[in-house]
Structure 1
């Protein structure tokens, strides 16, 4: 018997693997049979009506399943999730399968109408909405309780039965995207539409904003050069630059709102109806009834959550801010020591020592930011927010408050307490350059090198297997399942937010800040492209109409800057 993809294709239907499900190695057979049946059952019977096949590997005790769907099933799923498509007359309308001939890109049976990313998003949507009906527990695991309306995939993940679910890369399409994106030398813009088509709206918007922000920094960078060299000590002229800075920070955000709306309208997400937000996977509580949907789901007292926020989270944030201020004062002590040492020695070495405190402080800032973010994630999860949007808002608030104080407090102290412009320029330049180097190394170069070594070992392991199936597919699955999971655009937007703060607040006293920001963004484009294509698993596409809470954060920061 041929080993490999052991479930035969349905008649006249070519199976295309789109999503991979990996179960724990010790998963019981009755659990696997129950899950496969659930995924393949018809919608009216409580299933997903999708196609699923196990990837059976000899001498390998693994439980890997490939999930796909027929063309008609995916098109009906596109209607269910409310995908918006362009019509022949140029208008944007939610897709209706019954009116499929009205849409612009419809060809024959519609097999190529949906992109691979859209198909994967539909499958993820259907899997997430696979809910229990009469089951009291997961078959084979009596302790893993189920109740009507409970998401089966979420319960499998919280019970450690399901290890991961991830979408497969399209190797040929990814190869073309990589060439257009970062492999060829070019002077034009990024292929934003191709990025969006492959990775989804969320990443398309991020790279669109990164490109726009870089272009918006150009006037500040070009204007900063003559100010830096010809108005170095003429502080009256800096008032003009500060005024231009204020107008610039206002205009670029307003222009981006318009560009973002134009972009998302063309993509069809601006008018997408917002789905009812389900409870997040980590939310827990006693079983109750949702008064809106009427479904049974966990219920948690809002009073308990508020007590956790105000009695634990707020004191933790305040204590962290105190620690950041304390570390800042240690930095100033080191700075005073370095200045005294240089005045005493008056040598080349002592001149270099002047930069040591700023470099050490920049490294400490990056370390503290990362440790604090980890603590903030744990703390926000412990607060037990019901919705993902609420969870993200509280997490962003915690992280932004600490990062603003940790990164900017020393600069404000130097500017308004010490009134030392020379030290301010030195500290700002050191913070910018050091943080950029550390971020590029930690976020992209180091993971890429580690992933490349891991891929070589996996390829040797797969070639040593005696398999009677597609080596390319097996190798791809084994490589991708061991890749790191992309955790979203949080860190990327946070880095851009801090850069926006450095430029909008302090470029009037250090005009070269915008140039460093431009250089950082250019390298960020290529390093982020590299990590998305070569380091991380392909993320599921997510519809997005804007950059969300980050736009509000920048607008709020701009208003504070105006008041200041």
Structure 2
């Protein structure tokens, strides 16, 4: 600090200094980390957390401790998800529901769009039905419950692991606010602490702007929905036969890619908006600013990543109306419908594409961009080599200056460098837990990605970037509260996916209410026999809207011969009102959702109670310290009394 009380940050704003950073030093710890940690060959080796702490500080060490623990326990979830997926593959062709769809050669379905869309046979979607059952089966329910428990156990075990680690570092009861005040007083004994302030006006403005941003993000999700609707209509009119036949799947795939591109773009916009809102709040300390920024950026990123998935999971095919009375976008394009075997495959495709693109492309860019920048900076800093080529002599460079130059040539880091890594992993954790019922392979993809992520981050920090300023910490901060909130959302999300998106509940209602088994016709038939015919309603072709172009007929049918078509819903054939079965299924969905969420939340509470946050060894360590300190104080009191 200067005599005018100017800090280093103030001098940098005045361009007195170009950059400030601690040097990568040629020392034993650094060489050990480069050889034993920042190497791809050590991908399955345990991390040297104590060495990381000595070199980068506790904050960075805790990030890698958390990431390593998360990846370790993710391996269990990955194995469970893989078992569920493989079990689904084994029943790929044995489902009674998919068999009925494959054999429905005379079931004429209503057109999927208005213009030039023909009638179609239910058996044409045989493969899609088999894939749907591979994902949507009884194992899905068990796996969703397992993941709800896993999320709780993971957080509880992390709390124990964190307590053990920071106790070894003698930082368990460390206070960050006290540390910041101490540093200020060291720099200036006349320093007065900045008081806590609260402005209802500023809070109202921040809240309104945050809500406006969320509305914009939801609007982008609506735009993706409109794209899918228009894409289906355009693909069905394509001259390419394969594209015309797979119009729905093509719309889902291209919509998922477009969703990924919006995530990449909006991530930058969300960051700027979150920083602006933090500046409006005027937080008292850096840690408070970091917490405020974390909450805002995660909220914006959550809506950016999941708005489209929420629509597919809970609204697709449920707000589109029915033949003769469709809901339309701009009065022209119909909203999408679900396949007769359910909408869960659409959600599966969307999640698979986004996770694969996000993890593969993001990791490649995360490594290539710093590597290319580093090479370019080194090439720009080679004037001496050119002078040697011209025959000019150079003075020998001081070894210290050479070391400074090498550090300066590395990529710069900022206060949010570690924050970006946390945010990336927390978003991945959200994908892994919230909609995992529709994508059992999510934990496996996340596990494989994290094995590379740990070494990728290590290589960046040790070889491509300047050394971070070491900072103390005794936990991962507000990220723990964010992870706990995601755990609750995971219970709600998976419960809704099974109750609403999956065909599990309608099938169970049919089995135990309307199936041949319940009607007394026990002839060895599967109890789900007849479910597809039961779940399809009848529509009279003469009731199409007057302005709608009459659909093309099917091969083998004379024009006008098709007088009825089927569609997925539970409606009466005369007035298209909801049937009694619809209300039975609605009540069963609601009952299952309440039961699932209460059971899952009770299990989470029991698990959090059963697994103590603090290990007994840590408690006993503090007990021994208290006992020792009290004995010392009492001994001193006795000595002073005797004197």
What is the TM-score with the length of structure 2 in the denominator?
Answer: 0.58
Instruction: State the alpha-carbon separation in 2 of the partners of residues 406 and 530 from structure 1.
Output: 30
Equivalent position of 2:203 in the other structure: 309
Contact preservation (8 Å) 1:325, 1:409: yes
454, 461, 467: which is aligned to 1:532?
461
Q: 1:438 aligns with which of 342, 361, 373?
A: 361
From 515, 518, 534, the equivalent of 2:444 is 515
Give the Cα separation in 2 of the matches to 1:374 and 1:451: 25
Instruction: Specify the alignment match of 2:400 in structure 1.
Output: 473
Number of the residue aligned with 1:166:
21
CA displacement 1:328-385 (0-9 Å, x = unmatched)? 1111222233344455556456658442221121111121022211221133124322
- Whether 2:310 is the aligned partner of 1:412: answer yes
Structure with bigger RCO (C-alpha 8 Å, 6+ apart):
2
Shift of 1:167: 0.7
Tell me, what secondary structure is at the counterpart of 1:166? coil
Equivalent residue number for residue 62 of structure 2: 205
Correspondences of 1:204-283 after superposition (within 5 Å): 204-231=61-88, 232-272=134-174, 274=176, 276=178, 278=180
- Does residue 1:549 correspond to 2:478, yes or no? yes
Q: Is the 8 A contact 1:484 1:535 kept in 2?
A: no
Say if 2:434 and 2:489, in contact at 8 Å, map to a contact too: no
Aligned partners of 2:85 and 2:135 also within 8 Å? no
Counterparts in 2 of 1:362 and 1:274: CA distance versus 1, 3 Å: closer
Alpha-carbon distance between aligned partners in 1 of 2:55 and 2:242, rounded to the nearest angstrom: 53
In the aligned structure 1, how far is the partner of 2:137 from the partner of 2:271?
Answer: 38
What is the number of residues matched between the two proteins?
408
- Matched ranges for 1:133-152 at <5 A: 135=3, 146=4, 150=5, 152=7
Q: Greater Rg, structure 1 or structure 2?
A: 2
Matches of 1:494 and 1:353 in 2, distance apart? Answer: 31
Kept in 2, the 8 Å contact 1:195–1:203? The answer is yes
2:281 to 372, 383, 388: 383
2:421 is the alignment partner of 1:421: no
| Cα-to-partner distance string for 1:104-131 (whole Å, 9 max, x where unaligned) | xxxxxxxxxxxxxxxxxxxxxxxxxx4x
Of residues 414-423 and 459-468 in structure 1, the stretch that sits farther from structure 2 once superposed is: 459-468
For residues 280 and 384 of structure 2, what CA distance do their matches in structure 1 show? 40
Distance in 2, matches of 1:433 and 1:332, equals: 21
TM-score, scaled relative to structure 1: 0.66
Question: 1:229-281: per-residue Cα shift (whole Å, max 9, x none)?
Answer: 33325433311111111110000110011111111222232244545264899
The structure with the greater share of residues assigned to strand is 1
Partner of 1:182: 38
Q: CA RMSD in A?
A: 3.1
* Contact kept? 1:486, 1:538, Cα under 8 Å: no
CA contact 1:279–1:388 (8 Å) conserved in 2: no
**What secondary structure sits across from 2:262 in the alignment?**
helix
| Structure 2: stretches of 5+ with no match in the other structure | 89-133, 318-342, 493-596, 598-643
The residue aligned with 1:91 is none
Structure 1 pair 403/234, CA: closer, same or farther in 2 (3 Å)? closer
Residues in 1 aligned to 2:194 and 2:167: alpha-carbon distance in whole angstroms: 37
- Given that 2:22 and 2:467 are in contact with CA atoms closer than 8 Å, whether structure 1 keeps it comes out as yes
Bigger mean CA offset, 331-340 vs 395-404: 331-340
Task: Kindly state the Cα deviation for residue 321 of structure 1 after the two structures are TM-superposed.
Answer: 1.0
Q: Distance in 2 between matches of 1:538 and 1:247?
A: 39
Task: Return closer, same or farther for 1:336/1:177 CA change in 2, 3 Å cut-off.
Answer: same
Distance 1:461-1:316 versus aligned 2 partners, 3 A rule: farther
TM-aligned CA distance change 1:534 to 1:371, over 3 Å: farther
